[in-house]
Structure 1
Amino acid sequence: MKVISYNLRKNRASGELIALSERYDPDLLCLQECDTRELPEEVGLLHLADSTVRNRLGLAIYYRKDRFTSEHTKTFALKKSLHDRLLTPAHERLIGTRLTDLVASRELIVASFHAAPLTAMNSLRRNQIRTAHEELHELGPGLPTLMVGDYNYPMFKGRLGDTVNKSGYDLTLSDTSTYTRYKFFSGHFDLATSIGLTIENVETLPIGSSDHLPILVTSSYGDEPHNQTDIPASLAESERSPGDDAV
């Protein structure tokens, strides 16, 4: 299963979506910072499952209708940062879709997530991520789940890895940096967290007109044979930094 996640930077990269779909042939497409008023029903072979409605620049999920049936989609409000309350309101930071995989004859959850901006504390983002995982569990208890998106968490990922692992999830980085706007904050902003799935590869795709680079997540169900590349499923040890617990 191939999933592309892309932060469009205030919808600036929306014109790239058809080319991405044609080149990489994803099964699903998860967007952040898309203009929800102008979303097309189709992007290549992908069909719009749903999008957030309370944020103009919001989240959306597309899926292949020849591979999946969309059973239910739900949007979620998470704990707000000061930025959300005062500057650029963001009411919904998570959208999840419960799908039936027609090839594998099983259900799963796929979600697009956008954490609070860098002006917020890492502790608030960890709270958002933990709550997001809990909400997705309610959407599909016990189902394999993949949550991709802009986690806005470039530093101290060891603490994040611990938090994610405690909830039963794995945290996986892409092969190279995914953010380019600020030299100091360049790093892996766009991540994948998963449960019940084996992440075989997370590839950073070529840069477009967004300050984020899209990522391509390739996964299989956890009980299927797979060929996993040499990437860390848990970052609790691989990216722990001194003073990590203080952030």
Structure 2
Amino acid sequence: MKIMSYNLRKHAATTELLALVERNPVDVLCLQEGDGVRMPQQIGELKLASATYKNSLGLAIYYRPDRFTALESHAFTLRKSIHDRVLQPAIERLLTTRFVDLVSGQDIQLASFHASPLSATNLLRRRQIGQALDHLAALSNGSPTLMTGDFNYPLLRGPLIRQAERAGFSLNLSDGPTYFYTKSIAYHFDFLLSRGFDVQLVETLGRGLSDHRPILMTTEILKRAGLNLPEIGSAEAAGPTASVFDEVE
């Protein structure tokens, strides 16, 4: 299974998506910073499963209908930073779709995620990630789950890795940086958290019109019958949740 994630930089890279997926055929495409109102219903052989529409820095998920059946999608706001409260750059930061994989017959949960920018703290982003994992737990019913996107978490990832492991997730980085400040200063902003998947390869693709580089994941679903998966949850997402449930039509 091939999954791609790409931050479009305020919708700017949307025009290159068709050429991108033709060069790198995928089964699922997870996008960040796209304007849902202007997102196409189809990109090559990929069909739009769902998108967010409340502002221009939205999320979207596309899929191959000959590989998956899309069942339902949900979008969520997460804990807000001061930047979020003042400028409201992105209202919903998690979009997830439940699919039936037509090859294995299994239900899976796939999600596109966009954390608050670097003006927020890593602690705030970990709380957002914890809330996202809690929402996925409520929806997935133990099914294999993968969340990818722009985590805005380039440094000091040790606490995040431990948080993910406590929730039963693995964190995978790509084989090269995804965001370049200069030619010599670059970081991994875009990566994935997964549970119930065998992640075989994560590649950073070449730069296009965005300031982020897309990542391409090669992964396989682990058979649920052979798993003893822990409950998804996050000890660091403590306290009452401020998330708002919003089902995307």
Instruction: Give the TM-score normalised by the residue count of structure 2.
Output: 0.87
Following the alignment from structure 1 to structure 2, what is the Cα–Cα distance between the partners of residues 148 and 132?
Answer: 11
Following the alignment from structure 2 to structure 1, what is the Cα–Cα distance between the partners of residues 109 and 35?
Answer: 23
Structure 1 residue 182, shift from structure 2 partner:
5.5
Following the alignment from structure 1 to structure 2, what is the Cα–Cα distance between the partners of residues 56 and 189?
Answer: 20
Partner of 1:217: 217
Q: What are the within-5 Å matches in structure 2 for residues 1-247 of structure 1?
A: 1-181=1-181, 186-223=186-223
Structure 1 residue 183, shift from structure 2 partner:
6.8
Task: Return 202-211 or 86-95, whichever deviates more.
Answer: 86-95
Following the alignment from structure 2 to structure 1, what is the Cα–Cα distance between the partners of residues 182 and 132?
Answer: 27
Aligned CA distance change for structure 1 residues 139 and 182 (closer, same or farther; 3 Å): farther
CA contact (8 A) 2:196 2:221 kept: yes
Following the alignment from structure 1 to structure 2, what is the Cα–Cα distance between the partners of residues 76 and 185?
Answer: 33
Coordinate RMSD, CA, aligned: 1.4
Taking only the aligned residue pairs, the percentage that are identical comes to 50
Tell which has more relative contact order, 1 or 2 (C-alpha 8 A, sep 6+).
Answer: 2
Name the SS for the 1:129 alignment partner. helix
Following the alignment from structure 1 to structure 2, what is the Cα–Cα distance between the partners of residues 158 and 183?
Answer: 26
Following the alignment from structure 2 to structure 1, what is the Cα–Cα distance between the partners of residues 90 and 8?
Answer: 16
Following the alignment from structure 1 to structure 2, what is the Cα–Cα distance between the partners of residues 38 and 73?
Answer: 19
Partner of 1:245: none
Structure 1's unaligned 5+ residue stretches are 225-247
C-alpha distance after superposition, 1:69-109 (max 9, x if no partner): 00000001100011110023421000000000011111100
Give the letter for the 1:210 counterpart: S
Name the SS for the 2:123 alignment partner. helix
CA contact (8 A) 1:68 1:99 kept: yes
Partner of 2:243: none
Structure 1 residue 55, shift from structure 2 partner:
2.1
The number of residue pairs the alignment matches comes to 224
C-alpha distance after superposition, 1:125-169 (max 9, x if no partner): 000111101101111110100100000000001111011111110
Aligned CA distance change for structure 1 residues 156 and 215 (closer, same or farther; 3 Å): same
Instruction: Give the TM-score normalised by the residue count of structure 1.
Output: 0.88
Structure 2's unaligned 5+ residue stretches are 225-249
Structure 1 residue 57, shift from structure 2 partner:
1.6
Following the alignment from structure 2 to structure 1, what is the Cα–Cα distance between the partners of residues 50 and 150?
Answer: 18
CA contact (8 A) 1:199 1:218 kept: yes
